[in-house]
Amino acid sequence: MFGLRRRGTAPVSERLPRALGRLIEGLAPRPAATIPRQGGHNPGAVVDCAIYAAGVRRPGAVHYTEAARAARRRRGTYVWLGLHEPDRATMRSIAEAFDLHELIVEQAIEGGHRPALETIGDVTRLVLRTARYVEHEELTATSEVVDTGDVTVLIGAWFVISIRHGAAGALWHVRRDLEKRQPVLRLGPWAVAYAIGSRMVDEYLGVAAAVERDLERLEEETFSAHVSPEIAHFYQLKREMVEFKRAVLPLQEPLDMVLGQSGLPAGLRPYFVDVRGRLARAVDRVAGFDDLLNSILQARLAQVSMGQNNDMRMIAAWAAIAAVPTVIAGVYGMNFAWMPFLNAHYGFHGVVGLMALVCAGLYWRFKRAGWL
């Protein structure tokens, strides 16, 4: 019969618009993918991957497995793979493509490493701490002044892998600037390590300059006419300075070890020497800031102690003044029959006057001594 249809089947009036919609959707052009899918558990960890030959980046995006195969086949080319907080699955996939040791995989998925330089197999692992100054209107007991992270640079014969943990130390501008310096870029994977190390040291100097301004404000606050009773923000800055020192000071030894590497191109040695010199300036400034902060903190503690002593002297002075009428009133309150001026006509007024005279004398004496 014409009014019947099979169970579960939509009428023709509903199916026809759906079919036309699917047909139009299939004919519509799809947007081309600009970055190939990197694979792994979190493909977003791959920030950038490029092949470099003779100091020039090859155009187009490339998967790291394809880049690894291409760099192996052609001499004079290498891969720079940039990662940000990769997980274990992504690092295992990358380890298979670049023949990385399993210890490198375990170290790469966790942050908080200390600056170091070590060689595992044919791969050199360089760890640098990142630092970033956190802007704030005023320093408080909970202000974050320096944000730190770490960057691990894996250097092989035909590849370099940078693995960053934390918000600080973004490397996209390092790649952009290095790609403009073809003579340096053509020196191989160690050129990338130099560029990253140079940028980190520049960040240290920038953070040191910003921290110096905070120290100047604390110094002005400490020796101003109206001193704030708060002192917790001094300790907060000291804690932040300790974190900053852990990023800067330990890097000296790894940089010295880099200059002793046999695989370091001779053309890069002057650049690493320059980085070491700038790092020495940053170390000196941080050490000087630490001494200055200790001096300011000691001065502030001395002021607090002096303020407490002044308060105690003031309290003692007022207690001594209040003791005079208390003692006299207590003696006359014992209700003895024979007391001086007890039955005199002006006895009450005389005793009150005596109290006022003695209290005024004590007040004048304490005021002159600086207790009040």
User: Is-contact 63 49, C-beta < 8 A?
Assistant: yes
pLDDT for res 331: 80
pLDDT for res 137: 83
Q: Kindly report the pTM of this predicted structure.
A: 0.73
pLDDT for res 85: 92
Q: Which two tokens stand for residue 188?
A: 């191989």
CATH code of the domain occupying 43-305: 3.30.460.20
Rounded to whole angstroms, the Cα distance separating 174 from 200 reads 10
pLDDT for res 290: 82
CATH topology of domain 307-369: Methane Monooxygenase Hydroxylase; Chain G, domain 1 (1.20.58)
User: Is-contact 248 286, C-beta < 8 A?
Assistant: yes
pLDDT per 10-residue tile (average), the chain, 372 residues:
40 45 41 39 79 91 91 91 92 93 88 91 93 88 89 95 91 94 94 96 94 88 74 86 92 93 91 96 90 85 78 87 85 76 76 87 85 80
Strand, helix or coil for residue 122: coil
pLDDT for res 81: 95
Rounded to whole angstroms, the Cα distance separating 134 from 113 reads 21
Domain 307-369 in the same topology as domain 43-305: no
Which residues are CB-neighbours of 262 under 8 A, at least 6 positions away?
A: none
Q: What are the domain boundaries of the chain? A: 43-305, 307-369
Which residues are CB-neighbours of 80 under 8 A, at least 6 positions away?
A: 48, 49, 50, 52, 159, 160, 161, 162, 175, 189, 192
> Residue 226 burial by CB count (10 A; 0-12/13-18/19+): exposed, middle or buried?
exposed
Rounded to whole angstroms, the Cα distance separating 226 from 17 reads 78
pLDDT for res 34: 37
pLDDT for res 57: 93
